[in-house]
Structure 1
Amino acid sequence: MLTRKMMFGCQFKNSFFRMAPKTCLSIVNMNMWAPSKEQLLCLFSLFDEKEIERCLAYRTQENCLHRLAGLLLVRHAFSKLFEGKELSLPTCFERSSHGKPFLPDAPDFQFNISHNGNYTSVFAVRGFHAICGLDMMELNSSRLPTSMIAAVSRKFSEQEQSFINNSESAEERRAKFLRIWCLKESYLKAKGYGLSVPLDSISFQFNHPNLTKDIAVLDTQIFEEGERVDVKFMELLFDNHILAVCWDKFAPESSVEVLEPAEFLKTQNGVTNVDSPVMPLVNTFYEKPK
């Protein structure tokens, strides 16, 4: 189980994570959050209806809440990184041609959302021309059968395939596959490429063959078309989940902020009027399977 104490004390090779003012990495355990109908109305009212409709595009209540939590975490990160500035919290996001959300009125604020398993997370960086990418996967997800791992692995680079094949068990093979997948996703999201790039065109070199629970690794290297790319990565194994973040070499390192729902809701001030135009959207949420 991921805890605040474990994460803030989480040691990685040759250093410690340090809190820095221009980066924010937040994680929330969704098992701890079950908003009431009144709370949901309040939170829906914080965003443009188009943004809530994107949340409701998910089939289940669980995935809708994951998406909503991601939006709320973005607002939380925005309030932290722009603390002391007279800026309104974001209510709606634009999308790039590859579907990456961004704020046109805040070009110096970059963020990425990921949710899988029990957790939702957001990584944000403040700085012009900064990049950031994030991906997270649950290790034992039933949505990822062995046959899919084998098929997708064949699209990786030869070095990565050898890395995966050099495993002593099916569990280790799965963990290595997900580790590479999260790294690739975090890099592609940071660059804004989407999945239009061949998976074997980027390849990772590992100094640590396996991740250790609650110990972050920062020395994994990436090569694109055979050339070393000078960006930073952080990998972490926690509570049966693998997380990878990618950010610009000039941005400072960040601590991992583990939040309870009540904490990231502090900066959210919506309305609870039952005549609110978003009330039908709340009703749509409850029509979905859990």
Structure 2
Amino acid sequence: MAAPATDRVTTAIGLANVTVITFDLAKLTDDVERQIAGAIAPARRERAARYRFADDRRRSHVAGALIRRALARSGEDPAGEHRLSAGKHGKPFLPGAALHFNVSHAGDRVVCAVSAQNLGVDVEAVMCPGLDLRKIFSPDERDYVEGGDIVERARRFTRVWTLKESYIKYLGVGLGLPLRDFSVVHGEQLAVIDGAGDSSPSMHVRDWGQYVLALCHDQRDAVCIESATAAELLEFC
């Protein structure tokens, strides 16, 4: 089986219909983190303070800063991050704003996707399949993963996993939709089969060094991916 295309995400400059803002935690200094922590919503700051590990706190702080940047880039007040609410299954939204966004983080990567339409984003470090694929993947998904050599298999597994996670986040159903109940690979195409939505969203997957970034969204146009600097994180904090 041919691999799902990894060049479907078009890198561009400026705010597209869908923008994914990324940050590498290796670029985060203690001073910048302190400034971010002082500006983000108290609820996020307090939640981050309860994390046992410093890296988890750092990811949460940066996620708040990326949300503020995404709001500002979309014409909203970045301070609106203080008014965030969550849906039934925890998907965040800004009451009264015609804006959709989603965050994800893994290892030293933090991402925030924003659009005028519904979306879901997920990022994961490349991981070896340690589960029985028959319990979580469709036959097409298993064929795709098992069609690579031992090294490529890990990347293929992670591509499918992140796409499935991004679809669940797109729906906003949390753990209410088991991974095995739908497929994101159909023959040689990327599409949701037997999912919970009325139609299949646009799906993008991108290899990102030792990570994989996946996105499901309602737009059909190009996606802009931009890397934020530490200075840009502080711009709206």
Q: Verify same fold: TM over 0.5.
A: yes
Q: Aligned Cα RMSD in Å? A: 2.7
Taking a change above 3 Å as real, the CA distance of residues 206 and 27 of structure 1, as seen in their structure-2 partners, is: farther
**Alpha-carbon distance between aligned partners in 2 of 1:233 and 1:76, rounded to the nearest angstrom:** 24
Match of 2:169 in 1: 189
* Shift, 1:226, TM fit: 10
SS at match of 1:245: strand
* Shift, 1:190, TM fit: 0.9
Structure number with greater Rg is 1
1:134 aligns with 2:114: no
* TM-superposition CA deviations, 1:168-215 (whole Å, max 9, x none): 21x22221111111001111101101121121221022676xxxxxxx
The answer as to whether partners of 1:113 and 1:122 remain within 8 angstroms in 2 is yes
* TM-superposition CA deviations, 1:102-149 (whole Å, max 9, x none): 11132x1111111112211110112xxx21110011115xxxx65xx2
**Alpha-carbon distance between aligned partners in 1 of 2:56 and 2:109, rounded to the nearest angstrom:** 11
The answer as to whether partners of 1:135 and 1:183 remain within 8 angstroms in 2 is yes
Tell me the matched-pair count: 231
The answer as to whether partners of 1:178 and 1:242 remain within 8 angstroms in 2 is yes
Match of 1:100 in 2: 91
Match of 1:247 in 2: 217
User: Unaligned 5+ residue runs, structure 2?
Assistant: 1-5
* TM-superposition CA deviations, 1:214-249 (whole Å, max 9, x none): xxxxx6222125999331111111121100011103
**Alpha-carbon distance between aligned partners in 1 of 2:144 and 2:53, rounded to the nearest angstrom:** 36
Match of 1:35 in 2: 30
The answer as to whether partners of 1:94 and 1:103 remain within 8 angstroms in 2 is yes
One-letter code of the match for 1:80?
Answer: R
User: Unaligned 5+ residue runs, structure 1?
Assistant: 1-10, 209-218, 269-290
- Name the TM-score, length of structure 1 as normaliser: 0.71
* Shift, 1:259, TM fit: 1.6
SS at match of 2:149: coil
1:66 aligns with 2:46: no
Identity, in percent, stands at 22
Match of 2:230 in 1: 261
Match of 1:155 in 2: 136
Match of 2:42 in 1: 49
The answer as to whether partners of 1:204 and 1:223 remain within 8 angstroms in 2 is yes
Q: Give the structure with the higher percent helix.
A: 2
**Alpha-carbon distance between aligned partners in 1 of 2:42 and 2:108, rounded to the nearest angstrom:** 26
- Name the TM-score, length of structure 2 as normaliser: 0.85
